[in-house]
Amino acid sequence: MNAPSPASPTLKVLPLGGLGEIGKNMTVVEYDGKIIVIDAGVRFPTAEQVGIDLVLPDFSYLKDRAQDIEAIVITHGHEDHLGALPFVIKQLGGARNAPKIYGRPLTMAMGRSKLEEHRLREVQLTDTPLSKEIKLGKFSIELIHCTHSIPDACNVAVTCDAGTLLFTGDYKFDQTPVDGPPADFLRLARFGKEGLLMLLGDSTNVDRPGWSPSESLVGPALYDVFAKQRGRIIVTSFASNLHRVQQVIDAAADLNRKVCLLGRSMKKNTNIAKALGILNIPDGLLVQPRELENLPDHRVVVMSTGSQGEPLAALRRMAFRDHPQIRIHEGDTVVFSATPIPGNERAVNETIDKLYQAGAHVVTHKDAPIHASGHGYAEEMKMMLNLTKPKYVMPLHGDHHRLQLHKKLAVSVGVPEKHVFCAENGLPVEIDQRGARFGKPVPSGVMYVDGSDIGETADAALRDRRSLSEDGLFVVVATIGDDDGKSVAEAELLFRGVPFKHDEKFLQAVREQVDASVERAAADKIHDLDEIQRILHDDIAQLVWTKIKRRPVVMPVVVAV
C-alpha cells in the first residue's frame, strides 16, 4: 500500500487594502513561508480626517517578515497603487533591508522619485520586461501589457507550485489606445487554456454597462473645446494621467497656445515621462507661471492639479482666489478632464461653484467627451473572465457594493458562486488540495501619515481636530493652592475660533463654574492635577454647550502654587 503523499503548502491570498474602498491597494501572496506583495497604494483623506495627509494600508502583518518577502511588484504608477511604497520600505527596516521592487520603466521611475524624496536611495528597483518569466525563490512573476490611463500599466501573474494568480491591476480593453498596442489578448487567452487558479480583478466600473470609451476620443474633443475659446484655458486632470497631458499639449500646439504646468506632481511626472521619451513636448511650448503676464489670454493653456477638489491643489487655490501667481477672471474657461472619485463629489462641486463665482466658464465631461475612464466597464470585465477562465475569482479595488456586483458578473459568465470570494481587508483566502476557503483574519485597518509621522491616529484626535476646525479652542487656566486645593486667583480664559459674541456674562459664568469645580474637587480631597483637569473639562464643556450650543475643544490647565 502506497504511503499518502505529504500535503503541499497552503497558498494564502491576503488583501491588506483596496477592498470595501477605492484606494490603498495592497495584496499579499504567501506560499511555503515566502511572500510576494502586489502594489503599495495610498488613499487620500476624507474631509473628516482633519490634518491627515495620507491614508495607508495597515501593513503590520509584514513588519517583522521583511526577510520573507521575495519582491514587491507594482502594477502601475498611480498613487493608489504606488504611493505607500516609501512608507512600506521604512516599516520593513529601511533601504538596506528592502526587498527588490519590480515594475515597468515609468512605474519604476516614479517609484524611484518617491523613494529619493524619503532618502531611500539604496532600494533596488528593476525595470521589468513584458511577457518574461522572472524567478523569485518559490515564485515566478510575469508582467502582461494592458491599457489604462497611464503608460506602462500591466497585469501581473504570480505562479507557485499551487498554481497561477493573475492580478489585473487597473485596466480597460481600449481597442485604439493612444500610446501603443491594445492589451495582450493572446497571453490572457493562454492563461485560460493553461488553467488559471485565481483572477483578482479590478471592480471600479462594474456598475457601468457596456464598454468604456477609448482614450483616443478625448484628444479631438479637447481640441474642439479649445478651438471655441478666446480667453485663457485652464485644464485640470490627474497629474499621473500622462495620456491626457500629451493630448492637451498636442491641442495647444495646434492652436498656437503656450502651456504652463501648475502643481508639483504635475511638473514632476511630466519631467519623468519626457526623460523616458513617453511625452513628446515641442521645444519652447512650455512656459513658467511668471511668463504668463507677457502672453495674451488667447495664447495660454494652463494645466493644473486639483481635479478632485484637493484643498491644497493649484486649481482649488485659484477658485478661492488664493493662488500666488494666477487669478481667475472673466473670460477664463476651466476644463475638468476627469471625473470625481467616489467621495470627492462635494469638494469638486464646491470648487466648480467658486470658479463660476470668480467669473470663469466651466466645462466638464457632462458637457463634452473630454474624459475617458481608465477602468473597464462591465462588458470588459466579462471579457477578462472569459479570456482567462479562472477557477476562482476575488474581486478587488472597489467598495462592497462593487465587489458584490463583480461577483454577480462572474457568476453570470459561468464561475460557480462558491468560487467567488468577496473578501475584506485582512481576510485571507487559503487555497490547497481541498479547495479554497476564507482563512483566519489578521489585523488590518489604516495607518495615517500626519506630517512626517506614520501611525494610528486615534479617533479622539480626529474628533478634536474637527472640533477645532468647526468650533474652536477654549483654554481655561485655574490656579489652586498647593496645600488645600482651593482657587487662589481668578480663572484665566483664552478662546480662539469659538463662534460667539464677546459676552461678559457668559465669561463670568465660566469663571464661576471653574471655582465651583475646583471647590468640589477640594471638598472630595482630590489632589491629582490630571483628575482635577478632567473634572474641569467635563464641567466647562457642559456649560459651554448649554450656553452657546457649541462644542469647542476645551483645554483645562491647573497650576498649583
What is the set of active-site residues? Answer: 202, 375
Q: Cα separation of 486 and 526, whole Å?
A: 11
**What are the grid coordinates assigned to 556, written together?**
483645562
Residue type, 184: D
Output the DSSP codes for 71-108.
EEE---SSHHHHTTHHHHHHHTT-GGGPPEEEE-HHHH
Q: Cα separation of 460 and 48, whole Å?
A: 12
Q: Cα separation of 528 and 551, whole Å?
A: 26
CA-based nearest residue to 79, from 143, 26, 16, 20:
26
Dihedral (C-alpha) 87, 92, 96, 102: value to the nearest 10 degrees?
A: -70
3-state per-residue secondary structure call for 255-308: CCCEEEEECHHHHHHHHHHHHCCCCCCCCCCECCHHHHHHCCHHHEEEEECCCC
- Contact indicator for 307, 337 with CB cutoff of 8 Å: yes
Dihedral (C-alpha) 394, 388, 82, 59: value to the nearest 10 degrees?
A: 30
What letter would DSSP give residue 198?
A: E
**What are the grid coordinates assigned to 17, written together?**
487594502
**What are the grid coordinates assigned to 5, written together?**
503523499
Phi/psi region, residue 412 (left: phi>0; alpha: psi -120 to 50; beta: rest), is alpha
**The residue to which cell 474637587 is assigned:** 521
* Strand-by-strand arrangement of the 100-103 sheet: 125-127, 100-103, 69-73, 34-38, 26-31, 11-17, 429-432, 435-438
**What are the grid coordinates assigned to 294, written together?**
507677457
Q: Cα separation of 487 and 500, whole Å?
A: 27
Vertex 38, ends 93 and 241: CA angle to 5°? 105
- Contact indicator for 420, 395 with CB cutoff of 8 Å: yes
Find all residues with CB under 8 Å of 548, minimum gap 6, and list them.
498, 500, 506
Q: Is 306 exposed, middle or buried (0-12, 13-18, 19+ CB in 10 A)?
A: buried
Phi/psi region, residue 482 (left: phi>0; alpha: psi -120 to 50; beta: rest), is alpha
